[in-house]
Structure 1
Amino acid sequence: MGDLLGVAVLGAGHMGADHIRRLACMVSGARVAAVADPDTARAKEAAAGIDGVAVHAETAAALDAPGVDAVLIASPGPAHEEALLAAFSRRLPVLCEKPMVPDSTGALRVVEAEARLGRRLAQVGFMRRYDAEYRRLKSLLDGGRLGRPLMLHCTHRNVSSPPGFTSAMLINSSVSHEIDAARWLLGQELTAVTVLRPRSAAGAPEGLLDPQFVLFETEHGALVDVEVFVNCGFGYQVRCEAVCERGSARIGEGRTMLVTTGGSAREEVAQDYLVRFSDAYDREVRSWVDATRQGRVTGPSAWDGYAASVAAEAGVRSLETGHRTTVELAPCPDLYAGR
């Protein structure tokens, strides 16, 4: 076990439990060394059957547990800043689920703290960069065969929203994935956002503005629109179409099982992001483990996490005011130059 990367997983909820399973069963070169969750019963359940796992209620205890070499943060967003800074203070590499930090002020503190270290330790969990379809689209756009990208049309639908989901969370939780994907696919920063509010669907909880239509502008004149609908009722769907000068390309139409019976055909629709992006999550964590064991940090950076937080905050302001809102980033530290 000494040759394996010992990982402390912070958070044992839906996402954390899935990462614990992934590290234990799907990813070579790593082991779960510790799990931390205020609900220690939940943490013990998530770690059941895995040898040598220390379970703690507190983050610090898990980070200081014997055999911990790296950290995977899957706790709720408001807890991320403290956990990231604690990992930095121990020089521990981190894979942090999105949002890196929900508010841009806290996200900038994380960027500045990492910049003071003079080396990257954090990777942010924007797993769409590891999805096979998104990677093919990125390669196509970078190759230039279709000419310059002019527009991205994005769709983000969920079966239903969890309890406590707010109108702002449609942007700072759900659309945050499209924010990073757009920046990555286009190689451009987002400069402004406008959020339009159609009438809410009958299936949306009372008071939730769902769906929403989000329009981003970029620094080189491309447009990105996102339909986000988190109570569509019928499935989990993520699609993206790039419209370029000499053609277009669309992803997210992946075919699942087609059942034909009784004179009709029915195609399955994924019901959960862990189903739709299971391969992407596996690839993301494998890549992080491999790079960490080699002393490297790859993938989305803390700066990417900060930029997503700023764009999401601007989107929430536009949602609240009904006005176009600019996205204003702080100067980028040299650590992230050439990102």
Structure 2
Amino acid sequence: MSAARRLRVGVIGAGAMGASHARTLANAVASAEVVALYDRDTQRAAAVAAEVGARVADSPEALIDAVDAVVVVSPDFTHVDLVLACLAAGKHVLCEKPLAENAADAHRVVEAEVALGRQLVQVGFNRRFDPGFVELKASVTAGELGDVRLVHGIHRNASNATSTDDATLVTGSMIHELDTFRWLLDGEIVAIRVESPVVDGFRDPQVATLWTDQGQMLTAEVFVNAAYGYDVRVEVVGTGGSAMLEPRTPVVRRTAGQSRSSIGSDFVEHFLESYRIELAQWTEASLAGRVVGATAWDGFMANLVAGHGVDALRSGERRTIDVPQRPALYATPPTHAG
């Protein structure tokens, strides 16, 4: 593909995040052109399409056929079939997390990509592109903290309309931490325990304790109805120091004997810059026939750990995770052009 060519993108899903991705691609990614949208709600699709100068596709299949690459931002249960359709058509695809609702379905994507012999799938774990998280990982990778012993993650939402039961809190929200920890440490999670102070009803919040193949212990607190706002923090503790990703508080007010700052409640707004970077890098990589960010294998591994986490919460026991062998396709970045 010519470096000057613009990637013709189709977006499947025109909800809050789908609309945001479409606008970002249209307005902030010079190498992308949004040409088609699809949503089961045709009025919603038409409204977003009009904003970005795209047309409304009659079906996901028609959209996939009409574009160079696809962004999947539809409900979780649709992800696998849509990604497999993109692979069958040989199209690059950015699929919002999670890749699937369970590890078995996620592995179908891995198998399809391995059979194809090339990587086309990127999973939308956007924290890998967030400047703060990137700086935190750089500190870990450079050895500035010594040998990492502990990682603590906090993930709180004011409210959440998708993680609404014990299982989806793990598979839909905590799954961010499960990918982030693997990426930060360049390691694998080999055991998990998940607990909650709530006994009856929706067990929110939940706290996971995890162990890695490098002997580290990690904790992930996820509270999707914390009421006060959207709050994501991570601390990495090593033998030579610690590094903490703090909440964003650009303005701190000190009045009437009090110090205060604002906390937002919109996760899309909170990570807007990371989404822009993610979409821009995905576009450039797709034009070059490469994949950046989380691969289909990473998506599968996050689903695998999440599944054990759901089982651990239900059983009250620590669960050991047998990490499967990574296929050769994911050992090194692809070098072929698309």
- TM-score, normalised via structure 2 length: 0.94
CA drift at 1:79: 0.5
* 1:295 is aligned to 2:289: yes
Which of 220, 228, 240 is the aligned partner of 2:234? Answer: 240
Which residue pairs with 1:156 in the alignment? Answer: 155
CA drift at 1:215: 0.7
How far apart, CA to CA, are the structure 2 residues paired with 1:50 and 1:287? 20
Aligned residues: 330
Specify every segment of 5 or more residues in structure 2 that has no aligned partner in the other structure, as ranges. Answer: 334-338
How far apart, CA to CA, are the structure 2 residues paired with 1:146 and 1:95? 33
Output one character per residue of 1:125-153: Cα deviation in whole Å (capped at 9) or x when no partner.
11101111111111111111221111101
Contact map agreement 1:237 1:252 (CA 8 A) in 2: no
Which of 318, 321, 324 is the aligned partner of 2:312? Answer: 318
Contact map agreement 1:12 1:74 (CA 8 A) in 2: yes
- Cα separation, partners in 2 of 1:69 and 1:163, compared to 1, 3 Å: closer
CA drift at 1:61: 1.3
- Cα separation, partners in 2 of 1:158 and 1:182, compared to 1, 3 Å: same
CA drift at 1:36: 1.0
CA drift at 1:292: 1.2
How far apart, CA to CA, are the structure 1 residues paired with 2:246 and 2:29? 26
Which amino acid is the alignment partner of residue 61 of structure 1?
A: A
How far apart, CA to CA, are the structure 1 residues paired with 2:240 and 2:178? 24
Percentage of matched positions with identical amino acids: 41
How far apart, CA to CA, are the structure 2 residues paired with 1:179 and 1:164? 16
- Cα separation, partners in 2 of 1:279 and 1:196, compared to 1, 3 Å: same
Contact map agreement 2:162 2:168 (CA 8 A) in 1: no
| Helix, strand or coil at the partner of 1:64 | helix
Query: Map of 1:1-339 to 2, 5 A cutoff?
Result: 3-51=5-53, 53-65=54-66, 68-162=67-161, 165-199=164-198, 207-338=201-332
Specify every segment of 5 or more residues in structure 1 that has no aligned partner in the other structure, as ranges. Answer: 201-205
Contact map agreement 1:310 1:328 (CA 8 A) in 2: no
Output one character per residue of 1:102-125: Cα deviation in whole Å (capped at 9) or x when no partner.
110010010010011111001111
CA drift at 1:321: 0.9
CA drift at 1:169: 1.4
- TM-score, normalised via structure 1 length: 0.93
Structure 1 runs of 4+ off > 4 angstroms?
A: 260-263
Which amino acid is the alignment partner of residue 253 of structure 1?
A: P
- Cα separation, partners in 2 of 1:147 and 1:260, compared to 1, 3 Å: closer
Output one character per residue of 1:177-203: Cα deviation in whole Å (capped at 9) or x when no partner.
100110011111101100111137xxx
| Helix, strand or coil at the partner of 1:168 | helix
| Helix, strand or coil at the partner of 2:113 | helix
CA drift at 1:101: 1.0
CA drift at 1:262: 4.6
How far apart, CA to CA, are the structure 1 residues paired with 2:169 and 2:250? 26
| Helix, strand or coil at the partner of 2:198 | coil
| Helix, strand or coil at the partner of 1:250 | strand
Q: CA RMSD in A?
A: 1.6
| Helix, strand or coil at the partner of 2:209 | strand
CA drift at 1:257: 2.1
Which residue pairs with 1:203 in the alignment? Answer: none
Contact map agreement 2:129 2:277 (CA 8 A) in 1: yes
- Cα separation, partners in 2 of 1:163 and 1:302, compared to 1, 3 Å: closer
Q: 3-12 vs 107-116, which deviates more? A: 3-12
Which residue pairs with 2:336 in the alignment? Answer: none
